[in-house]
Amino acid sequence: MLRVGRISYINCYPVYGAIDRGIVPLDGTLVNGVPTALNRAMAEGALDISVVSAVEYARDAARYLLLPDLAISCDGPVRSVLLFSKRPAHELDGRSVMTSRSSMTSVALLELLFEHVWHATPKFAPGDAEITDLAHFDDQDDARLVIGDAALVLSNAERYPYVYDLGEVWKTWTGLPFVFAVWVARRTVRVADALTVHAQLIESRNWGITHHDELAQQAHDATGVPVDVCTTYLSGLDYGLSYPHLAGLTEFFRRLVQRGRVPNGTLAFLTAA
């Protein structure tokens, strides 16, 4: 049976909701983890199919095949990838900015925005991007990247006067959607098995995007974030991989190639044998 990775954040509820409820079967065993843990598990062969950071695919595309029409993306505000700052972003040159150990893509996007939008070179320091209590934050940091459910919990925090939604900043800068995560299969997986799981994930995704109210209540129960905020959040995400999404994804990859962050490559999709 295939091992299938799932990010434990609520942004994955729409893809796995029907599977969790037994509405859609899954020919595999689910394994939960934060993005970097799933990235590592896929690279090490501990998972067969998983959602991974977009950067993980670009970093080692020869190892993976993209599952068609399945991603986590936004076309404007994402609401769960936020930079909290004590000062305007363009004034953070030489200042300490805590980044995330949990998401390669969010950190890579943040670096691009500092270079091309805010024109500042801060001192990045990896840290915990999932803390939901601002009292635990180190006062020496001038800004910090917060991702996932924690960003929703902290979205109304008053300690940091400047809050930047990285999805929104990317959209303003490029005019394109941003793809944070994709689903991939290891190339060693039997195509027929991968296609079966892919079809099940798509069926579950299709159920999820028509049941936001139910999933928002589940998200509220898990995080304490108000139901209306969870509904707005889930409704603002896109779980497909259309031409506009691919344009945003390849633009992101192109810029990472220019910076030497990932090797140059191509997008390769799972197809029927």
pLDDT of residue 137: 52
CB-based contact 234:163 (threshold 8 Å): no
Residue 191 in this model has a pLDDT that exceeds 90:
yes
The confidence score (pLDDT) of residue 20 equals: 97
Report the percent of the chain where pLDDT is more than 90: 84
pLDDT at 169 over 60: yes
Q: How confident is the model at residue 29 (pLDDT cuts 50, 70, 90)?
A: very high
What does pLDDT average to over the chain? 92
pLDDT of residue 128: 62
pTM of the predicted structure, to 2 decimals: 0.94
**Domain ranges across the chain:** 2-73+179-258, 81-174
Contact 79, 202 (CB under 8 A): no
What pLDDT, on the 0 to 100 scale, is given for residue 182?
Answer: 98
Count the alpha carbons within 13 Å of 10 in the hemisphere toward its beta carbon: 30
CA distance readout (Å), 24 to 12, 69, 183, 199, 210 = 15, 18, 18, 10, 14
Give me the percent of the chain exceeding a pLDDT of 70: 93
The per-residue pLDDT for range 57-81, each reduced to its tens digit, is: 999 999 999 999 999 999 999 999 9
For residues 12 and 136, the model is more confident at 12
Instruction: Give mean pLDDT, residues 180-192.
Output: 97
pLDDT in tens, 123-140: 998 876 555 455 455 566
Nearest residue to 129 (alpha-carbon basis) of 151, 153, 113, 161: 151
CA distance 183 to 165: 23
pLDDT at residue number 58: 96
Per-residue pLDDT at 54: 96
Burial of 45 (0-12, 13-18, 19+ CB in 10 A): exposed
Q: Which one has a higher pLDDT value, 132 or 19?
A: 19
CATH superfamily of 81-174: Periplasmic binding protein-like II (3.40.190.10)
Please state which of the four CATH numbers 3.90.226.10, 3.40.640.10, 3.40.190.10, 3.40.50.1100 is assigned to the domain occupying 2-73+179-258: 3.40.190.10
